[in-house]
Amino acid sequence: AKKTWKEWTLNRIVQLTEEAQLSKPKLQRWLDNFGEQYSKVVVLLSISVAVMGPFLFRWPLISSS
């Protein structure tokens, strides 16, 4: 079976992406991982404050301004 141009191109893109990921310096991989974890924590904390803030800090649920 002969591969089409799109199949070959997609395979090549995947291969190049994997090679680029593996060739990253250790510090860059660590920073990528840290950034991913940091963003998850920030999103979770933001949601927690938005949901629990009015109950924990006695903020008004509806502003009267």
- Is the confidence at residue 39, as pLDDT, over 70? yes
Q: What is the pTM of this model?
A: 0.57
Cβ(61)–Cβ(54) below 8 Å: yes
Question: In the chain, pLDDT over 90 holds for what percent of residues?
Answer: 54
Range list of H helices, the chain? 5-22, 26-56
Q: How far apart are CA 64 and CA 59, in angstroms?
A: 12
Nearest to 32 by CA among 16, 44, 21, 19: 21
The predicted pLDDT at position 30 comes to: 94
The residue among 47 and 58 whose pLDDT is bigger is 47
Cα torsion for 23, 16, 28, 30, to the nearest 10°? -90
